[in-house]
Amino acid sequence: MSGLIGKKVGMTSMYDENGKNIPCTVIQAGPCVVTQIKTEETDGYNALQLAYDEKTEKNISAPLKGHFKKAGVSPRAKLVEFQGFQEEKALGDEITVDLFAEGEFVDVVGTSKGKGFQGVVKRHGFAGVGGQTHGQHNRLRAPGSIGGASTPSKVFKGMRMAGRMGGDTVKTQNLKVLKVLTDKNLIVVSGNIAGSKGSYVLIEK
């Protein structure tokens, strides 16, 4: 599917024609440049590699310098492949937020905020052990038993336990495009998306 790379600007709200207040997210979408064109003859599939966000040349590796030089573009920070572009594109072509139209629906892929090491109550929504009467010890947020002693004598894979939380790739589907500001390369979509302010997101048609 075709799409663009962008950055999450933040959240706000808008009123629709019925006066309903809609929470929405503002995304800086593009402009992205084409840095590689993949075809079935050379790579086995059709795709466009898009690059976004300027980066200083001293902070990229030598192979990437040659890659950007071949495409005739300045170094960029984020490279992503997209499939499904209808129009023919050439190396160095710029794709802007005009790709999207108000009223259509998009999917947005982001990386959720990292929460670090968390317990089972925060990470998995455990309720914790009951009240503090009847000999209850100070184990209110403990996970409890994680497996039987004699049967099955092991802890099964996938057991919900404490551990690192967040930092996952999350796709939020069917978000309505409420506004497209072409002069500022901004797109406003309904609802919220994963990630902190300034994080990279992928907007897919």
- Say whether pLDDT at 80 is over 80: yes
pLDDT, position 200:
95
- Paired residues of 81 in beta bridges: 49
The residue type found at 106 is V
- Cα separation, 45 vs 57, in Å, equals 30
Computed over every residue of the chain, the mean pLDDT equals 90
Q: What is the DSSP string of 154-190?
A: S--TT---SEEE---EEEEEEEEEEEEEGGGTEEEEE
27 CB-near residues (< 8 Å, 6+ apart)? 6, 7, 8, 9, 108, 186, 187, 188, 189, 193, 201, 203
Residues 144 and 65 in one domain: no
The two structure tokens encoding residue 174:
């069917």
Looking up tokens 């919220």 gives 192
Residues 72 and 46 in one domain: yes
CATH number where 68 lies: 2.40.30.10
What is the largest distance, in Å, between two alpha-carbon atoms of the chain?
74
Residues 62 and 95 in one domain: yes
Residues 152 and 173 in one domain: no
* Interval 127-176: pLDDT, tens: 877 666 666 666 788 888 888 889 899 999 999 999 999 999 999 999 99
Residues spanned by the domain of 136: 117-165
pLDDT, position 88:
81
Q: For residues 51, 57, 58 and 62, what is the CA-based torsion angle, rounded to 10 degrees?
A: 70
Residues 54 and 107 in one domain: yes
- Cα separation, 173 vs 121, in Å, equals 27
* Interval 37-68: pLDDT, tens: 988 898 898 899 999 988 888 888 999 989 88
- Say whether pLDDT at 92 is over 90: no
Q: How many domains does the chain have?
A: 2
- Paired residues of 76 in beta bridges: 54
Q: How many CB atoms sit inside 10 A of residue 149's CB?
A: 7
